[in-house]
Structures are given as structure tokens and as C-alpha cells.
Amino acid sequence: MSLDTAPPPAKQQRRGTPPAPTGLSAAARWARRAPLLPALIFTIVVTQLPFVATLIISVLRWNSLDPDNRGFAGFDNYVAVFTDPNLRSSIVTTVILTVVVVVVSLILGLGLALLLDQKFFGRGLARTMLIAPFLVVPVAAALLWKHALYNPEYGLFNGALTWLWSLFGAERPPQPEWISDMPLIAVEASLVWQWTPFMMLILLAGLQSRPMDVVEAARIDGATGWQIFRYLTFPHLRQYLELGGLLGSIYIVQNFDAVFTITSGGLGTANLPYTIYQTFYQAHDYGQASAAGVVVVIGSLIIANFALRVVSSLLKDEVK
């Protein structure tokens, strides 16, 4: 297990990877391109054309309930988007939700990865149990948290509080209404539960690719466990932390299932995907929904720009 950042050049030469085919005839170049084209054309048609359409619709006045009144709206939809308090608050919610879930699951994932990197009894089984939350279907996980864990009357959390209080013979255990008392935290907690295993797996792969001879040498030179972590393990893990953080952000920024299921976007938890879904589904204002979509795309492109820069280091050496 290693991060595919820098394959040693010597290995490349020995494996004799053919150089970039610049000196080929036109026919030979097309023969090379042929296997790529179906996938490329399919992706362009299905993923890029809708965005072009979104861009066009975003400058139109178009409400499906009022189909005769269609026309060019200029930037009206964008003005509506930026002055709509619901949409502005959903931008803030999206940022908070993404940052909290990514940071907390990275920290927990790092802790778990450090534990699983040690030898202990039943490590394989513990690893499998830790992966399980990631393999519950997102809607099912959200339903599980909403009904079986958060329910104030018979959910597991309040049930456990009752049980704990009775254990110490105390009366009147606290029985919070988890979802209505702390709606955003309720959504975040369920997502952290699902995404921590993902972070753990990436960081564990990073830990297991550490050059152990260096760690061993440091230990012989009298380095403490903390020093080894601070000066050897952590710098090595940095790129894995970045990768986990970026991939997590890409997936969680787009989260729809948890918000839809646990709070139905209420109580200030509506994030951008949910708000766009709602604008489109309930308000039927196609122009405004598209303008909101364009704003989300621009926001994502800014994140993606950072993400691509990190990932590009993964391919850098093979380009040579």
C-alpha cells in the first residue's frame, strides 16, 4: 500500500513504458484514440451538456407553472439567488456541514488508523467492524439515526441515558429531543459516523506505507514515540490527510440523503443540494433553480481547483 506519487524513474525505464506518442502518423494516432473515444464522448454528452443547458436556462425567465411567460431575464435570476435569504443561509450551512464533517472524521479516522496500525488481538475483525458504517446505504443510515437512535421516546440514545441513570439509582434521566434541539449536529453526527471509516482506511494505507527502517533508526537513536509521530509519521501522512480531506469535501459538499431524511431540510439544515432540489421540485422556477446551480458549480470549481492541484502530483512522474 503506497500513495502513487513518485514511482522511481529507474523502474519506469526498466518497464519500458512507451514515450508519449508524438511522432506517430495521423492514422496511428486515431487508432490509439479509438478505444478512448466511446467513454470520452459519452462523458462529454451526459455530464457536460446539462451544465451548458443549466447556464442557458439560468438567464431565462421560466416558471413551469406559468409556461407562456418565458423570455430572456438577464441576470435577474442571479440577483434573486443572491438576495434570497434561504439560499444565502444554505450556502453557509453547506460550508459548515462540509468543514465540520470532514475535520471531525479526519481526526477520528486518524486516531483509529493509529490504533489499527498497532498489533492487538482480533485486529482484522475490529477493522471489519469499523468499516461497516461506511457500507450502510446512506438513506438507510439516515433512517437508522433518525428513528432508531435519535427518537426522543424510544431511540437508543435516550434509552441508554435512562439505563445509565437507573444504574446509579438516579431519577429523571435527561431525555433530549436530539433532532429538534441540535438539528445540524444531528445531521453532522450521522455523516461523521459514515465517513470516519473512509478517512481511517486512507490514513491506514498511509501509515502502512511508512519507511519502517527510518522509524527503526530513529528509535535506536533514542527518539520518543511522540517525536517519531511529530517528525516522521505526521509529515509522511500529510499528503494522505490532504487526499482524504479533499475527497471527503467533494462527496460531502454534494450530500443530499442525510439532510433530506433526517431533517427534510428544516431547522436551518438545508444545504445547497437540498435547496436546489426544493426550488426545482416545489417552486417550479426553472430559471432561478438553474442560477443557483451555476453558483454551486462556481463554488465547486474553486474547491476542485485545489483538489486537482493535489491530485496532479500523483501523475506528475508518469508524464515525463
- Per CB under 8 A, which of residues 48..107 are in contact with other proteins? 48-51, 53-54, 57
Measured CA to CA, the distance from residue 191 to residue 262 in angstroms comes to 11
Q: Reduced to 3 states, what is the DSSP secondary structure of residue 71?
A: strand
- CA-to-CA distance for 101 and 135, rounded, in angstroms? 17
* Angle, in degrees to the nearest 10, between helices 286-319 and 49-57: 140
Residue number with CB closer to other proteins (38 or 235): 38
Q: Under the criterion CB under 8 A, does residue 6 sit at the interface with other proteins?
A: no
The set of cell numbers assigned to 128 is 471489519
Among 61, 89, 133, 267, contact with other proteins (rule: CB under 8 A) = 133
The least distance separating other proteins from the CB of residue 181, rounded to whole angstroms, comes to: 17
Compose the 229-248 pattern: x for residues touching other proteins by CB under 8 A, - for all others: -----------x--x---x-
Q: Which helix (H) or strand (E) holds 72?
A: strand 71-72
Q: How far is the CB of 230 from other proteins (least distance, A)?
A: 19
Residue 320 to residue 173: CA distance in whole angstroms: 65
Residues 61 and 287: beta-carbon distance below 8 Å? yes
Closer to other proteins by Cβ: residue 183 or 206: 206
Q: Which of 119, 168, 222, 226 binds other proteins (CB under 8 A)?
A: 119
| 145 makes contact with other proteins (CB under 8 A) | yes
User: Mask 287-316, x = binds other proteins (CB under 8 A)?
Assistant: --xx--xx-xx--xx-xx--xx--xx-xx-
**Residue 194 in contact with residue 138, Cβ under 8 Å?**
yes
- Is 269 an interacting residue with respect to other proteins (CB under 8 A)? no
